[in-house]
Structure 1
Amino acid sequence: MTDLTGKVAVVTGSARGIGEAIAKRFASLGANVVVNYSTDEENARRTASEIEAAGGRAHVVQADISSLPDIDRLFDETLTTFGSVDIVVANAGREVVGQLAADVTEDDFDRLFSVNAKGAFFTLQKAAKVLTDGGRLISIGSTTTIFPYSGLGLYSSSKVVAAQFVRILALELASRAITVNTILPTGILGAGVFADPAGAEAFRAGDAQMGRIDGRVGTPEDVADAAEYFVGDLAGWVSGQTLTVAGGAIA
């Protein structure tokens, strides 16, 4: 079993969904966890309370990762509270589905790229500067970056930047024994646009027939399983890699 006792983990966008599941998993393995949110303070506080009720330790930090001063404050507060940073998961992001490429406006572009590209890039950059040697960096991407979907051109394009940056950081941080990897989840029930009950039900009905293992759709816990692998000892010599979490489906 993975032992993260004494480690400090920062998970951006961890008020709910995939980020919440990863934060709770790391806490259950002994890590001190920073729960980050941009606007959803209620769910961030709930996540932290549930971590602490289960015997873990959590600290909540509001920070909008599209803002570089906010990113700096996120890590500065983590260092002040816990003294170090050992694990960082760049998970925060925005989703837009069903938008044809011809309909994308400059405002649409700026809104998504400010978080999914700029925010993820500078979160990873700042993390690389403060991470302890032997630390772990994980970027949460999307299968839309490797499988083309109509109506997801802007979203998938915005997620490509971090995926490429991960490969570069893996080379640049190798001498410090820091691993840098990407997880590409498919659509995940209870996360992103599929957290809405109506959208989740439609997703469950349509996606379960696409060749998934056990005929089911993915859950945030499936992604947390992959994150646990990357932060554990078994992945100590795995870096610059991309792990697709899609239940065996190829699209």
Structure 2
Amino acid sequence: MHQSNGPRGPGGRRLGGKTALVTGAPRSIGRAIAEALAEEGANIVLHYRSRETEAHEAAEAIRKLGVDVLPLSADLTRSSSVQELFDLAIAHFGGLDIVVANAGVASRLQPVAEISDAEFDRVLAVNTRAVFYVLREAARRLSDGGRIINISSSSTQSAGAGFGAYATSKNGANATIRTLAKELASRGITANSIHSGAVGDGFLAAGDGALSPEMRQYVAASAPAGRLGEPSDIASVARFLALPEAEWINGQALVVNGGSWI
């Protein structure tokens, strides 16, 4: 990682002097990850696509943690837009040490036989192609000793009726992460996926992936703790993977779902 200060950076924080790009960061898991990395001293490139107000609110909150924050809008489904995102981030901070590929969309819960071409293309455009563009650019531009963290889904680990399009779209990036772990190891870069279970806000609360109250209760009951996940549950794992102590974890799929589908 560039601007290395040993185990702890300025102010004693373990990521002091580092810079992290978090995609899909205005709210929910993305914002929680950005805040967790900022708490360790990392400067933040806070990517958003259309949630400008929320992005700037998140940026202001993160600045109060004593780090620099650069909110940037980009359409990740366009490779040129992803390249420009990295260009602007590196021009501002001088380099990138951590890339968290978090941006994604939910799919409608429906049997595979009922998924339309348009719905399949919509979900793959963001969850597969756009994530690939981000991971590819990270491989090209990340500083030696860096960290790549992909936010995936535990639905790729255990089959669930209605998740055909979503699980398929998420599995593409999982394969890319394993490949990058081997290709980038000689540069000291690690690449891992966090396979998140159901989180109570974000996808599940609104939009195409929203669950009925009955389904939310059912999903919560599937975890031994009897609750849905919180963004902080995922962010704490992302924080650890970004730290120097995690350098021997590479190419792994960490399932973070409270023990659901054991």
Q: Which residue is 2:256 aligned to?
A: 245
Q: How many residues align?
A: 249
Q: Runs of 5+ in structure 2 lacking a partner? A: 1-7
Report what 1:27 is aligned to: 38
- Given that 2:147 and 2:190 are in contact with CA atoms closer than 8 Å, whether structure 1 keeps it comes out as yes
Structure 2 residue 220 is the aligned partner of structure 1 residue 208: yes
Which residue in the other structure is 1:108 paired with?
A: 119
Q: Quote the residue 2:4 is aligned against.
A: none
Q: Give 1:55 deviation, angstroms.
A: 2.4
- C-alpha RMSD of the superposition: 1.7
Residue 119 of structure 1, CA deviation:
0.6
Structure 1 distance, partners of 2:79, 2:33, is 24
Q: Which residue of 2 aligns with 1:47?
A: 58
Taking the aligned partners of 1:188 and 1:195, their CA distance within structure 2 comes to 12
Task: Name the residue aligned to 1:152.
Answer: 163
Q: In the alignment, residue 164 of structure 1 is paired with which amino acid?
A: A
Letter in 2 for 1:227: A
The aligned counterpart of 1:230 is 241
Correspondence 1:85 to 2:87: no
CA deviation digits over 1:203-242, x for unaligned, max 9?
55223322333x3221000000110111112211110001
Q: Cα offset for 1:104? A: 1.4
SS at match of 1:208: helix
Q: What is the rounded CA distance, in whole Å, between the counterparts of 1:28 and 1:221 in structure 2?
A: 13
Q: Once the two structures are superposed, what CA deviation does each residue of 1:94-141 show, in whole Å capped at 9, x if it has no partner?
A: 101322211212211211111100111110010111100000000000
Matched-pair contact (CA < 8 Å) for 1:8–1:86: yes
Identity of aligned residues (%): 39
CA contact 2:223–2:257 (8 Å) conserved in 1? no
Q: Does 1:193 align with 2:204?
A: yes
Could you list the runs of 5+ residues in structure 1 that have no partner in the other structure?
A: none
TM-score w.r.t. length of structure 2? 0.90
CA contact (8 A) 2:41 2:66 kept: no
Deviation at 1:64, TM superposition (A): 1.3
**What secondary structure, in the 3-state scheme, does the structure 2 residue paired with 1:228 have?**
helix
Task: After TM superposition, give the deviation of residue 193 of structure 1 in Å.
Answer: 2.8
Q: Measure, in 2, the Cα distance between the counterparts of 1:19 and 1:201.
A: 24
1:18 maps to 29
Structure 2: which amino acid aligns with 1:212? P
Query: Structure 1 residues 50, 114: closer, same or farther in 2, change over 3 A?
Result: same
Q: How far apart are 1:202 and its partner, in Å?
A: 4.6
